[in-house]
Amino acid sequence: MRRWHLSLATTVVLALGAHATGAAPPPFPLDAGSARNLPVLARRGMVAAQERRAARIGRDILRQGGNAVDAAVAVGFALAVTLPQAGNIGGGGFMLVHLAKGNRNIAIDYREMAPVNTATTVFLDKNGNFDPKLSQQSVLGTGVPGTVAGLALAARDYGSGHFTLAQLIAPAIRLARDGFTVDDGLALSLRYGAARLRRYPSSAAIFLHPDGTPLVAGDHLVESDLAATLQAIADKGPEGFYRGATAQRLVDAIKAGGGHMSLADLAGYKAVLRQPVTGSYRGHTIISMPPPSSGGVHIVQILNILEGFDLAKYGPLSAETIHLMAEAMKLAYADRSKYLGDPDFFHVPVAGLTSPAYAAKLRATINPDHARPAADIAPGNPAPYESPQTTHFDVVDADGNAVSNTYTLNFFYGMGEVAPGTGVLLNNELDDFAAKPGVANAFGLVGGTANAPGPRKRPLSSMAPTMVFDPQGHLELVTGTPGGSRIITMIVEIISDIIDFHMNIQESVEAPRFHDQWLPDILFCERGISPDTLRLLTAMGHDVRIVPAFGSAESIEVRGSMLEGGVDPRQRGTWAAGY
């Protein structure tokens, strides 16, 4: 089956002569966007990202002797220029690193932090009601950015040592300074983002025409202020961002909008190392992001619950499989609402939530024939066991090192404002806090004390850069995706598609997705699931809703000596570049 895919891919690409680079045609696609159901193949190293130029920049770093971390840092800075809706230096995220030498896994938390002057009631109006405008459309929702600190830490501590930070930022600076041609993907996102960008002259000057219409495909986008900010980081390291002129301009923009971020908040930001969450699924080891992300905990928890069901027997996208997965998802999201938050402020019972024994208890509450209404589900009790935008990219290098990185501004273009003079889009990440117990954020997620706003707290995330190792301990999958609350369930489905249903990586990335997060009590399904199946699910008591496609789960599967890239066809411009 696998061989068939490989040889078909080879035949198709040679026949079309597509994506060939250099004189002799390569034996397989090294550098390609999505081809239906066929992974992109490479032998030595690969970068899979949501944008082609950035993917190629990372691939070139690998070719020049950089390791996966060097390449990831270069991609991270490049996406801030080429994928401004989500790539960023004004936001934050998480990087999971696998070092082949010593078989080490490292989780770098560079999530944004709330400024010191953040009250628990910051997003409530004078009547005590949550006002989403405050968290989503004002600088009160802007967290202290973590990306620059995170990428710099990664390069310094886990890079190959062959490249300086300045060398890894240089391609991004060139693109920002000299400009590049807007492609379909960027043009589409600018159309979506235009209304918010238009509110700020500093944003409009970069991304819109003088008449207020967004740049279109074929236009030339230059980001001079961003180039200067990146140059300051290249010259001075993170200090070039967190102190001095850039920091002052960021604070000025925040102050002008009525926010509270100070120079001290910026100077005090630190990326931190966390212990990755570990679990297993049918003998495969899962490594993912720990709190302040909920991603890893709930991926492992859902997989633990599913391990007790013979999904292979039911088949992919069958009503039985979707039903059992949806029921497991609901239980995890109920726990998320109570137990997950910033571990520096709230004790998160990671071991309890990810324990197979706890999963067995939860599994026993699932009715195989009928959906449990959300109202009948409440957060469980794991304690007794206790001892629209983001982007994801992956890198695997020739030595078997790997990086899985998800970072974000939260919404498309964050809150829409470029801090004047910096080229830096401000995030609205603090909307990920539970502004008030039980009141949903932009992703419909509810929470309570564990995720209440507060000084220097990191808001709870769902971002989950993830890796899977086969039963012999070899790296087999590097994956992740944007998609807010749906990130967790998308990754569970990709892992199950590969392990339970033996799909190749491109098939699993393309497979129609479904998602249930307990509240709202709805089973969200992409188009592509059979109407017969949807009828069966409805008869089982699920409130099935068809929703637009979601996610962008760029992934790399390692299969023997071959790297196979899966790029998500739901977004324009997704790319895997190998060599």
Residues marked active site are found at: 390
β-strand 562-566 against 555-559: which pairing, if any? antiparallel
The nearest distance, CB 89 to ligand DON, in angstroms, is 16
Q: In this complex, which beta carbon is closest to ligand DON, that of residue 45 or of residue 483?
A: 483
Measured CA to CA, the distance from residue 333 to residue 354 in angstroms comes to 13
Closest to 558 in 3D by CA, of 493, 466, 469? 469
For position 132 contacting ligand DON by CB under 6 A, the verdict is: no
Side chain identity at residue 467, one-letter code: M
Give the position of tokens 């501004």: 409
Residue from the set 159, 447, 482, 566 that interacts with ligand DON by CB under 6 A: 482
For position 146 contacting ligand DON by CB under 6 A, the verdict is: no
For position 297 contacting ligand DON by CB under 6 A, the verdict is: no
For position 279 contacting ligand DON by CB under 6 A, the verdict is: no
Q: In this complex, which beta carbon is closest to ligand DON, that of residue 398 or of residue 452?
A: 452
What is the gyration radius of the CA atoms in the chain, in angstroms?
A: 22
The count of other CB atoms within 10 Å of the CB of residue 213 is 12
Q: In this complex, which beta carbon is closest to ligand DON, that of residue 462 or of residue 489?
A: 462
Residue from the set 34, 288, 461, 466 that interacts with ligand DON by CB under 6 A: 461
Q: In this complex, which beta carbon is closest to ligand DON, that of residue 118 or of residue 231?
A: 118
Binders of ligand DON among 427-446, rule CB under 6 A?
429, 432
Q: In this complex, which beta carbon is closest to ligand DON, that of residue 61 or of residue 197?
A: 197
Q: In this complex, which beta carbon is closest to ligand DON, that of residue 389 or of residue 555?
A: 389
3-state SS, 514-550, equals: EECCCCCCCEEECCCCCHHHHHHHHHCCCCEEECCCC
User: What is residue 460's three-state secondary structure?
Assistant: coil
Side chain identity at residue 312, one-letter code: A
Binders of ligand DON among 501-540, rule CB under 6 A?
none
Measured CA to CA, the distance from residue 465 to residue 309 in angstroms comes to 25
The nearest distance, CB 559 to ligand DON, in angstroms, is 28
Residues that contact ligand DON, how many (by CB under 6 A): 13
The nearest distance, CB 570 to ligand DON, in angstroms, is 11
- Give ∠ CA 574-575-578 in degrees, rounded to 5: 165
Binders of ligand DON among 350-389, rule CB under 6 A?
388-389
The nearest distance, CB 483 to ligand DON, in angstroms, is 5
Q: In this complex, which beta carbon is closest to ligand DON, that of residue 29 or of residue 454?
A: 454
User: What is residue 470's three-state secondary structure?
Assistant: coil
For position 484 contacting ligand DON by CB under 6 A, the verdict is: yes
The nearest distance, CB 463 to ligand DON, in angstroms, is 5
For position 147 contacting ligand DON by CB under 6 A, the verdict is: no
Measured CA to CA, the distance from residue 475 to residue 399 in angstroms comes to 11
The nearest distance, CB 484 to ligand DON, in angstroms, is 4
For position 408 contacting ligand DON by CB under 6 A, the verdict is: yes
Structure tokens at 109: 């938390």
Q: Is 36 exposed, middle or buried (0-12, 13-18, 19+ CB in 10 A)?
A: exposed
- Give ∠ CA 92-352-377 in degrees, rounded to 5: 90
Taking the mean position of all CA atoms in its chain, how far away is CA 159?
A: 21
Residues near ligand DON (CB under 6 A):
388-390, 408, 410, 429, 432, 461-463, 482-484
